[in-house]
Amino acid sequence: MKEYGSVSDGTQTYKTVVIGTQTWMASNLNFTPSSGKSRCYAEGNGNGADTWLLPGSAGVKANCDKYGRLYDWSTAMNLSGCNTKSCASQIQKPHQGICPSGWHLPDTLEWNKLRRFIEKEIYDNWEDVDFGWDVGTKLKAVSGWKKASDTTVWGVDSYGFAAIGSGYCVSCEALSDASGYYSGKEEEAHWWTATEYTNQYTKDATQAYKSKITYNKKVMTLEFEKKADYLYSVRCVKN
């Protein structure tokens, strides 16, 4: 039984849904911060040198309305302008970041709590045996994804999480010279977590964990990527 509610970020209202003991946004965040790095999918620089959509165009707004906005990690954490050392000192748990009041950017523990709850239900209901489902299958929306060659890799949206392939942007500030690009629309969904990744050997702390679902796999995974180079989606969870 899906239990829906709502929350506002001051500019728009989002549907929310209860999954286990957690309450999640049922769509990606589409909040425009006053500073930091964020874009709608396919939004260009507006300098005439790239072929992406112009800022403020109807196509840009449509992409943000459908897929939510894409953010770099510091913007998602509301730590724009901090360096590696000062970022770590500013992180609080739970960290609200750009999420509405009373909500926050989930860390890896919270994403794993969601995963474990769904895995147990899949196991208890024999859905892994009868249907071959996994966590990604249960969280993906029934549309908004590229069709996979494996016809068993679909979305059933059992909980109302309604994950869609929102894509990502790499080096968005360099779109005009083709070293920056967008990819993954209707193929991949990535959501920043509030958890940093530090290489145990080099002590490099320029990366953070993300949660990922793709059109051609049934699973949800946790991976890590460069905080500043990649713009990903955000899902907020209730405090």
- Strand pairing partners for 226? 207
pTM over 0.85: yes
pLDDT in tens, the chain (239 residues): 688 999 998 889 999 999 999 999 999 999 999 889 999 999 998 777 788 999 899 999 999 999 999 999 999 998 655 544 555 555 544 556 799 999 999 999 999 999 999 999 999 999 999 999 999 999 999 999 999 999 889 999 999 999 999 999 999 999 988 789 999 999 999 999 999 998 888 888 899 999 999 999 999 999 999 999 999 999 999 99
**Residues linked to residue 222 through DSSP beta bridges, in sequence order:** 211
Question: What pLDDT, on the 0 to 100 scale, is given for residue 144?
Answer: 93
pLDDT reported for residue 199 = 84
Cα–Cα distances in angstroms (integers) from residue 88 to residues 41, 65, 73, in the given order? 29, 32, 12
Reference 6, options 24, 21, 20; nearest CA is 24
What string of DSSP letters covers 118-136?
HHHHHHHTTHHHHT---HH
pLDDT score, position 65: 97
C-alpha to C-alpha distance for 34 and 194, rounded to whole angstroms: 20
CA distance readout (Å), 183 to 70, 89, 126, 171, 208: 12, 33, 35, 12, 20
pLDDT (tens digit, 9 = 90+) per residue, 94-114? 556 799 999 999 999 999 999
Position 45 scores a pLDDT of 84
How confident is the model at residue 233, as a pLDDT? 98
CA distance 173 to 219: 32
